[in-house]
Structure 1
Amino acid sequence: MSLDIAKAWNAEIISGDSMQVYRGMDIGTAKIAPEEREGIPHHLIDICDPEEPYSAADFQAGAARAIGEIAARGKLPFIVGGTGLYVESVCYGYQFADNGSDEAFRLAQEQYALEYGADALHERLAEVDPQAAERLHPNDRRRVIRALEVHHLTGQTFSGQQAGQKKESPYELCLIGLTMDRAELYRRIEQRVDLMMEMGLVEEVERLLARQLPPNAVAMQGLGYKEIAEYLHGNCTLEAAVERLKRDTRRFAKRQLSWFRHMKDIHWIDMGENFHNNLLSIHGIIAGKFQVDLEYNSNQSF
């Protein structure tokens, strides 16, 4: 769908996914292969190595730069993907507060997570900042720890700081969200995990582990990588790792939907209906937003 939209509106795509920035992490991130991009330029994919940290602030800066370059070429910048904080930070020009850091506190939380598990660490966050806990997956250990650290350093909640952001956009936005029946969504999630396993997800994680990445590397906290790493470390069976991955992905999808439901001005499209009709509806939304004639922008029939 994103490719059809990009071709119709002379757009270039910016990946809004926090894990697709990493080279060598293709299967677990469902990264679109170069040969599948149908000539549409894609940005913020394969821009750093798994050893490197990459933050929402890094994404915001990179996306803003890409948006400027795309617009200068007379094309439409089109963010596709789903890491809520990353996308929202660009849409509304978030100011990332410099609350400082406490390395000893951060290491203590890392150790706690290693000893008692990601869920136990996540419960700590739920006690002091339930709103942040609702929006962050337990596997997103780096952001869970950062939310705890913000509370530790400032006495304020991370969610409170986010709520205080001005929701004024520096751009003229057209926001479109895709949704579908929950049971069908979960079926497709499980189907996708099975396909990832067939494509060689275990071997991809093996290659990453062979690089001797530090245990707290951001890249290894991504869905699929943490679960399969647990299997490769001998902490569970492959079957258990796959079932956990399916469960965690279902939970992530629920959190992702919750995050975007809080964003204003999103036009929601139910993907359970006819694909062709949905595409027509989306084109109508874009045309109405920018007050232009679709036929003028498109050289193909819909």
Structure 2
Amino acid sequence: MSSKSGKQPLLVLIGPTAVGKTQLSLTLAKAYDAEIISGDSMQVYRGMDIGTAKLPIAEQQGIPHHLIDIIEPETPYSVADFQTGCVNGILEIAGRGKLPFIVGGTGLYVESVCYGFEFSESGSDEAFRAQQERFAEEYGAEALHQKLAKVDPKSAERLHPNDMRRIIRALEIFHLTGQTLSSQLEGQKRESPYELCIIGLTMDRAELYARIEKRIDAMMEEGLVQEVQRLLERGIALNAVAMQGLGYKEIAMYLRGECTLDAAVTLLKRDTRRFAKRQLSWFRHMKDIEWIDAGENFHNNLERIHGIIAGKFQVNLEYTSNQSFLDGGNVQ
């Protein structure tokens, strides 16, 4: 597979949670002999399967998946860590003659690889961090989030109020440099080192929200409460990066007796809907995305997706409506 520019081809599939990326990624990976790299900031953690919606190995259809289950939940994982692992993965996959294929919904992580963001060390101020942590303990996570919103509204918009580590880091960057995190990101180059083909999935908001609620109900049936319980019994701290993920913080509140299970699930559904909205907001600011409606008529759009990829990567794949990558109806 080649590209018009001579750069390494890189296929990317993005979209909000529950929009249908996983099943489509398997279809495309088989059609284009690709290996999948997870673009999800939480799937790197071992023992966190249900809440992160990991695809079981038995359902991966023999397609290699990378950057999944690579570290323990006690270990922090940053965008710079992801970028390094992903770039190395792209080189290895291409070296095997396969197409590198990033699939995920963590906007900054994916964008950092697509456009080769450079992360300079801004230094640290441990006393400042401790001060912000004490502020959050006294006044709550929402109050800390509002502090960030006052100095860096764009970063506040994309960060969940519970994501204290990243909120404090954004405040720390402003404290140390006088520049906001969002302005630093906007100053990054937007020329990709790859021949990019970015497919973005979207759908009617009401339909997406219904799918989110259905997914969370399924997670509860699969044992999300027990998964979070095992993590807490292991001694994973509530302020660990891994425990800030959707599902883990809310269920931990229930297990600690801070709310009922019904209240925790209601909160999780609300937070996940808000997260999907932030994901879409982030992606809307990215360039080079070919948007596809993943709703009821998605089956009819698969041929268009093929045409987009074929045009980018100069492939000549014969296909009809009977072939596997057009089979299966709507993406689940």
TM over 0.5: yes
Contact 1:139 1:223 in 2 (8 A): no
* Mapped partners of 1:294, 1:108: distance in 2: 58
Which of 278, 293, 297 is the matching residue for 1:255?
Answer: 278
The corresponding residue for 2:81 is: 58
SS of 2:318's partner is helix
AA at the equivalent of 1:44: L
AA at the equivalent of 1:38: Q
The corresponding residue for 2:247 is: 224
Moved over 6 A (4+): none
Which of 85, 104, 112 is the matching residue for 1:89?
Answer: 112
* Mapped partners of 2:114, 2:313: distance in 1: 16
Contact 1:190 1:246 in 2 (8 A): yes
Q: After superposition, what is the alpha-carbon deviation per residue over 1:79-134, rounded to whole angstroms, capped at 9, x for unaligned?
A: 00110110000001110120000111112222222332221111110011011111
1:190 lines up with 2:217 in the alignment? no
After TM superposition, the structure 1 = structure 2 runs for residues 102-121 of structure 1, keeping only pairs within 5 Å, are 102-121=125-144
Which of 97, 100, 109 is the matching residue for 1:77?
Answer: 100
| Matched residue count | 300
The corresponding residue for 2:67 is: 44
The corresponding residue for 1:9 is: 32
- How far did 1:142 drift? 1.4
* Mapped partners of 1:59, 1:134: distance in 2: 22
SS of 1:174's partner is strand
Q: After superposition, what is the alpha-carbon deviation per residue over 1:173-232, rounded to whole angstroms, capped at 9, x for unaligned?
A: 001100000001111111111111111101000000111123321100000001111111
Greater shift, 133-142 or 204-213, is seen at: 133-142
SS of 1:173's partner is strand
Higher helix residue share: 1
Structure 1: runs of 5 or more not aligned = none
- How far did 1:144 drift? 1.0
1:171 lines up with 2:191 in the alignment? no
Contact 2:238 2:249 in 1 (8 A): no
AA at the equivalent of 2:130: L
TM-score (norm 1): 0.97
Which of 211, 231, 237 is the matching residue for 2:234?
Answer: 211
Please, what is the CA RMSD of the aligned residues?
1.3
1:286 lines up with 2:309 in the alignment? yes
Contact 1:8 1:300 in 2 (8 A): no
SS of 2:83's partner is helix
The corresponding residue for 2:12 is: none
The corresponding residue for 2:256 is: 233
SS of 2:211's partner is helix
AA at the equivalent of 1:155: G
* Mapped partners of 1:219, 1:56: distance in 2: 14
1:130 lines up with 2:153 in the alignment? yes
Contact 1:15 1:43 in 2 (8 A): yes
SS of 1:172's partner is strand
Structure 2: runs of 5 or more not aligned = 1-23, 327-332
- How far did 1:136 drift? 1.4
The corresponding residue for 2:180 is: 157
* Mapped partners of 1:231, 1:111: distance in 2: 23
* Mapped partners of 1:97, 1:231: distance in 2: 39
The corresponding residue for 1:100 is: 123
Q: After superposition, what is the alpha-carbon deviation per residue over 1:13-42, rounded to whole angstroms, capped at 9, x for unaligned?
A: 000000000000000000010001000000
* Mapped partners of 1:268, 1:242: distance in 2: 31
* Mapped partners of 1:245, 1:34: distance in 2: 26
- How far did 1:300 drift? 4.0
* Mapped partners of 1:218, 1:87: distance in 2: 19
Larger relative contact order (CA 8 Å, sep ≥ 6): 2
- How far did 1:282 drift? 1.0
